[in-house]
Every structure is written in C-alpha cells, then in structure tokens.
A and B are shown apart, each in its own frame.
Chain A
C-alpha cells in the first residue's frame, strides 16, 4: 500500500508538471498584454520596460518556463501583477474558504442523497421513489445561481435568519463562520445531492438485480440484511468515485456561487485574476486546483482498494 501511494505521488508530480506547461503555454496564446493592463492609465514606456524586465517577461520562453517551475518547486509561484503580493500566499489564503464550502456541500449532499437514493431504489415505483425522482430532476435542471438567489431572498431577505453574503473566518468567530457558510454550501450541496441521489438510486437498483442478491434471498436472509450485506457494499463502490469527482470539482471553486455570495474562495480568485489578466495568480490558482484534484483522486484509489477486494494495489 505504501508503495502504491508513493508511486501514485510520483505520477501526480509528473501530471502537475504537465499542468504547469499547459497553463504556461495557454497564457502565451491569449491576447492582451498583462503588463499593459496592470499599468492601466499610468502607462509610460519606461515603467513598462522596467516592469517587463522585473517580471522576466523579456527572456526567451523556455527560460521563463524553467524558471517558473524551478521556483514553484520551492513554493515560490511568483508575485501578483496587480498587488505585488506573493502568489503562493494569495492562493493559500483563499483555500480555507473554498475547502469549507466544498466539504460542507459534499457532506450535506451525501447526507441527503444516501438515504434518498437507497429508499428510492429499494421501494422502486413507490410514492417515495417518485418524490425523490422529482427532487433530483429539479436539482439537476435548476441552475444553482437561481437557487442561491431564491435562498438569499427567502432566508436573508424575508426571514432574516442568515446573512445574505460575505465571509467570516473560523478563527475569528466560528458561529458567524457557520452562518455564512450555510447558504452557499447548501445551495451547491443541493445540486450535488441531486446528482448523487440519481446515481445512488441506479447503482443500488443495478446491484439488486445481480445474481448474488438472489443467492442471498435464497438463503432466507432478512431483507434488511440482504441490503446491508450484499447490495450496499457493491452499490457504493462506484458511488465513491462519483462523490469524489464532485468533491474535486467543487474544490476547484464554484465560480458563480462564490461570486454571488461574495465568498473569498479559489473560484472568486480565478474569476478576478482572469478579469485583471493577473497571470501569475491565475497560474497559481490552476496549479493548486490541479494538485487538489490529484490528491482527491489518490484518496479515492486508496479507498477503492479498501472497498473492492478485486483491486489489488501492491
């Protein structure tokens, strides 16, 4: 298992290197000169040249790239064109907000989707099943920003229970942090819950139609045991992947929701960096998101091997 993890970490490093290259090249292709944008109306040729010099932008591309990777290896992702702050610090600062949002959303989604999907499959065709299918259809087709706006109108505007937007850090005031987190994470979580409910339902149905479930019924096991021992474990193996993909994509930042709720996460940061053509920040954010994605994938593979004896990781 240790060897498996180490191998995978090495592979992830290679993938990350590839990500840096792709991002680096892509940014060369997009139109617009970041230094010019950064200077705005204060433009004069001398400052411009000095800035380009300082950012190393007048060197040959391969050198620029190698320099970037070399610094990245020691944790230096450059400085923001706009604020001049180190990029590493900027992206790390944004991580807790996004991580909290993503984790809360996925936990909420699982808490909703697991029982709903299971009951709906076991009681296939019952009123509960129909209601569940309406819910998941709703969640999948209604845009998250609309749900977010509705949430703000109802819970912040009409009822006044929750703050409409903004963020308080956990260290500052845990209760305020929680109150601010609730609405954006539930909004994102509802969409995820809808996706997961559907998936869990069909995965459980699929498992229930397998021959080994008939074998279990033939043994005269209590129906509950047939489900817990034979259906669930088999049905959950694929669910792990889907839930993890959801988590990974949320960790990348939910741009619309973060913008809507003024949530200072990675999605918001990416959005702002694109607007300002702040390339170092954009690169840093993409790199961090890619790293998180790879990390989640690694965790899933380990979990998978634990759940499914057919997969050996030695």
Chain B
C-alpha cells in the first residue's frame, strides 16, 4: 500500500490547570492514505478537533503535545520550525470548525482565500485574484467576481463556510482536514461540497480527514472511521466494520441514535448521561458510566486496551456487545 499522507502515533494533548491535568487527547493513532477518507466521529468534547490541530502544530497556547506525527512520511517533530510551517501551508488544507471566527474581519475574503498560494506558490496580483474568483466559484458562491472583494461580515454563515472551504482548497492540498465542514450548510449544498471533495480526491489523490457528528455523511464518503470518546479512540475500522459489525457498545449506541428516515426524532434512542469531563476521567473504561453493557468490575477499574479483532478493525472494550445492544423505544 502507498505511504500514508498523514500518520499520527500515540498522540496526546494535555492542559494543566488548577483543577488538575486534563488529558483531552490520549494515545490516538491513525493514518490516512492518498485518495482515502478517514472520518473521525464522536460527541462534542471528545477531542476530535484537538487531535487534528495538535497533529498540524496548531494547538492552542498551553497545550502539551506528545507523540509522533508524519506528514508525507516526514516526521514533523524532527523538522525545523520553518520547514514545519512550509509543509503545513503548502500541503495541508484546513477547514476550520467555526467559519464565523476563522476569517479575518478586516481583510477581503479573496485575499484570505489565496494568501497561502501567495506565500507558497508565489501567486501574485491578477493571477491571485482570478484564482480566488475561480475557487469561490468552485464552492458555489454566486457572482464571485464581486464577492471576492467583500469582507467576511458581508457573508452569511453558510457562505462563510464555503469561503473557508475555498481557502482550504487553494493550494490543491495533499491533505484536507475538514472539521465539521458542512454542518452549517443545507443538504443540497452539503452534497455539492462532498462531490467537490470527491472529485478533488480523484483528480489529485488528496487524502481527507473528515470530522463530523453526522454518521449519515460518514457512510457516504469515508473509507475508514475512528470513533473517539473522552480523548481516546474507542473503535477504529473500515466503514463496513463500523456500520456492519460495530464492536464497541458506544459505537452501537451512536448508530442507534442516528436519525433514520421514517423514524420521528422524538422516537430516536439517545445515549443517557453526558460525556466525561476531561480532568475527571473515570479510572476504567471512559464510557463505563454510560455503558448499557457494563460487563464487570474490570470495566470500572481498568482501562481496556485497543485490540485488533479483525484485520484493520480495533476496539477498546472488554465486552463486545451483541449487535442490537441498544433498544429503540417501542413505537
């Protein structure tokens, strides 16, 4: 198999505060190959964003990051600051989670879209401008020739999200990291964007890391899925593994909580309880307090290892639940 575009090994991110050390990402590893899509799913606060931010050297101030990250086979940790910066700007496109705050309010969007191309590809003046127009057009912004000179506040939330996507695609990146990239968009636009990304993958062999809450999107675009909870990977495998034979009670619960055609929203199963607070993780399995299976004492006191149960399918649990672990409320 080809070399992965991005591989992370044993990545951890922690913050120290008066309340103690919060390990918000703990021992995460996965890789993405050219042309492939890895979906990262999990509830809010599970560490999805922090994983990719830390991997690309964009973690917030005060974060302690550990582990090894390789971009195009090269160890980012062994690079100089300048090399790391160049590699990131040239080869990685990042769609940030919050399009309302990720754009500079006092710079026209066109300039922001092609700024990375100016820096790394030497694009200038009219060339940069027409490239910006082209990119805005590509993500479906109407009359891009005029919009290119507008400022972010002149765009709606959905339009800003497209601007951020255009910005991420500016350098034909080898790696595209999309953090909730289509959450603010309507279904039609979402489909357009997904198509755009797929064509990019075909054309350039771009590897994609797609972070989302939406398991419906995952089934459509992903090759692999990593399920995160409390900063850890609970399950990791191909789409077939995750959707066909989910091994972790949490994955099963997520699948059961997925909106489905024909089922009214109020009839959907939800996962009772709330995700753990990072500086107060339970000693055993992070999911134990909410787990419907609760095998035995071991689950409460000992953290299960991430074990391979089939080639390429890893699960972090002592007890694999029977397949319909979560009941739907009777209709």
Q: Residue A40 at the B interface, CB < 8 A?
A: no
Other-chain residue from B107, B116, B151 in contact with A220 (beta carbon distance below 8 A)? B116
A32 at the interface (CB under 8 A from B): no
Complex contact B58–A214 (CB within 8 A): yes
Q: Is B103 an interface residue (CB 8 A)?
A: yes
In the complex, whether B104 has a CB less than 8 A from a CB of chain A is yes
Give 1 or 0 for each of A215-234: 1 = CB within 8 Å of chain B CB: 11111111001000110011
Cα A150 to Cα B178 in complex, Å, equals 61
Of the candidate stretches A80-88, A141-149, A151-159, A306-314, the one touching chain B is A306-314
List B107-147 residues whose CB lies under 8 Å from chain A.
107, 112, 115-116, 119-120
B89 contacts A by Cβ under 8 Å:
yes
B116 and A309 contact, CB distance less than 8 A: no
Query: Is B105 in contact with A310, judged by CB distance below 8 angstroms?
Result: yes
Q: Are A210 and B89 neighbours in the complex by a CB distance under 8 Å?
A: no
A220/B85 contact (C-beta < 8 A), A211-B96, A310-B151, A310-B153 known: yes
Establish whether residues A214 and B119, one from each chain, have CB atoms under 8 Å apart when the complex forms.
no
Binding site for A on B (CB under 8 A): 53, 56, 58, 61, 85-90, 92, 94, 96, 98, 101-107, 112, 115-116, 119-120, 151, 153, 164, 167
Q: Indicate if the CB atoms of B101 and A219 lie closer than 8 Å.
A: no
Docked-complex contact B96 and A214, CB < 8 angstroms: yes
Our pick among A211, A212, A220 for the contact of B120 (Cβ within 8 Å) is A220
List, in ascending order, chain A residues with CB within 8 A of B107's CB: 229-230, 233
Q: 7 closest A-B pairs (Cβ-Cβ)?
A: A220-B89, A219-B116, A211-B101, A212-B104, A309-B151, A220-B85, A218-B94
Secondary structure at the A interface, as helix, strand, loop or mixed, is helix
Question: How many Å from the CB of A241 to the closest CB on chain B?
Answer: 15
Residue of B nearest to A225 (CB): B119
Cβ-defined partner of A215 (8 Å) among B86, B90, B102, B151: B102
Q: Give the chain B neighbours of A216 by CB distance below 8 A.
A: 104, 115
Interface size class of A (residues with CB under 8 A): 20 to 34
A234 and B106 in contact, given A214-B58, A219-B116, A221-B115 (Cβ under 8 angstroms): yes
Q: Given contacts A211-B96, A220-B85, are A234 and B56 in contact (CB under 8 A)?
A: no
A79, B92: Cα distance in complex, Å: 74
- Given contacts A219-B115, A230-B107, A211 and B102 within 8 Å (CB-CB): yes
A309-B105 in contact (CB<8A): yes
Name the distance in Å between A221's Cβ and chain B's nearest Cβ: 5
A234 to B101, CA, bound (A): 13
Contacts of B151 in A (CB 8 A): 309-310
Given A212-B101, A307-B106, A309-B105, A218 and B92 contact (CB-CB distance below 8 Å): yes
> In whole angstroms, what is the CA distance A272 to B329 when docked?
86
Residues of A within 8 A of B94 (CB): 215, 218
Determine the chain A residues whose CB is within 8 A of the CB of B153 once the complex forms. Answer: 309-310
Closest residue to A308 on the B side, CB-wise? B106
Complex-state Cα separation, A295 to B164, whole angstroms = 41
For B106, the closest partner residue in chain A by CB is A233
- In the complex, A212 Cα to B94 Cα: how many Å? 12
Q: Please state if A220 and B104 are interface contacts (CB–CB under 8 Å).
A: no
Given contacts A219-B115, A220-B120, A310-B151, 9 further A-B contacts (CB under 8 A): A211-B102, A215-B94, A215-B103, A215-B164, A215-B167, A220-B90, A308-B106, A309-B106, A310-B105
Partner of A218, one of B88, B101, B105: B88
